[in-house]
């Protein structure tokens, strides 16, 4: 999903809650951005491999084989994740993959277990079936993510635990660096154009 438009930022009296949420997100989103980026890159890789497999039997075998790697990559972090981190993680996964966290879980562990995780997340105040709304309720998160992606806000870097995780993270870092260099070049051209006039 492309996010071409900046989110609407309220001003005046209505803006206080938005900016309070923004400052809260600015603390927490960089701590878990790594995981959502990794989920996106890994889901792209796994989905393309699953699509290339001919039978349901081969697909089930592939998913079973990769569950161990997924648990190794995310298991401990998920177990230790606070409610706040979980909230932002769910939002960012939907933003990155354009799939609700529930859909991803259901695809890998089945609907009954995904429903169980939905119940658990609801007890903690989160919702695995909620869509990310960059132009609405989640605009403050979008501003923070944009700062991370343009390189102006660093995110916590974690060492991936699997080879697939290492490949996925390197791919994401390369995208961020490319975007940062493009933004610098664009700014430089604008400055040169302004100074020539």
The CA distance from 49 to 57, in Å, is 14
Question: In the structure, what pLDDT confidence band is assigned to residue 59 with cuts at 50, 70 and 90?
Answer: confident
pLDDT digits (tens, 9 = 90+) for 64-119: 888 888 888 888 887 788 888 888 988 998 998 888 889 988 887 889 998 998 99
In this prediction, residue 3 has a pLDDT band, given cuts at 50, 70 and 90, of low
pLDDT band, very low/low/confident/very high, at 2 (cuts 50, 70, 90): very low
The mean pLDDT value of the chain amounts to 85
Task: Say what angle helices 101-109 and 111-123 make with each other, to 10 degrees.
Answer: 140
Report d(CA 40, CA 141) in Å as an integer: 17
Q: Which residue ranges make up each domain of the chain? A: 13-196
- For residue 61 the two structure tokens come to 């075998």
Mention every residue, 6+ apart, whose C-beta is less than 8 A from residue 39.
Answer: 93, 96, 97, 104
pLDDT of residue 5: 66
- The answer to whether the CB of 111 falls within 8 A of the CB of 105 is no
Task: Tell me the per-residue pLDDT of 18-53, one tens digit each, with 9 for 90 and over.
Answer: 889 999 999 999 998 988 888 888 888 888 888 898
Q: Which residues contact 174 (CB under 8 A, 6 or more apart)?
A: none
139-149 vs 163-196: helix axis angle to the nearest 10? Answer: 90
Does the pLDDT at position 1 exceed 60? no
Q: Report how far residue 197's alpha carbon sits from residue 192's, in angstroms, rounded to the nearest whole number.
A: 9
Whether 175 shows a pLDDT value over 90: the answer reads no
134-161 pLDDT per residue, tens: 888 899 999 999 998 888 898 887 788 8
């Amino acid at each position: 999903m492309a996010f071409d438009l900046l989110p609407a930022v309220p001003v005046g009296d209505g803006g206080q809650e938005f900016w309070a949420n923004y400052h809260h997100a600015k603390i927490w989103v960089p701590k878990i951005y790594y995981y959502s980026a990794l989920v996106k890159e890994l889901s792209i890789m796994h989905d393309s491999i699953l699509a290339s497999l001919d039978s349901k039997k081969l697909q089930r075998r592939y998913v079973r084989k990769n569950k161990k790697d997924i648990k190794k990559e995310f298991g401990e972090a998920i177990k230790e994740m606070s409610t706040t981190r979980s909230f932002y993680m769910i939002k960012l996964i939907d933003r990155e993959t354009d799939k609700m966290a529930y859909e991803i879980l259901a695809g890998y562990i089945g609907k009954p277990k995904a429903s169980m995780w939905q119940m658990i997340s609801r007890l903690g105040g989160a919702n695995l079936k909620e869509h990310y709304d960059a132009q609405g309720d989640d605009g403050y998160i979008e501003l923070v993510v944009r700062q991370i992606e343009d390189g102006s806000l660093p995110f916590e870097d974690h060492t991936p635990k699997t080879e697939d995780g290492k490949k996925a993270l390197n791919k994401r870092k390369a995208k961020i660096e490319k975007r940062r260099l493009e933004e610098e070049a664009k700014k430089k051209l604008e400055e040169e154009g302004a100074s020539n006039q």
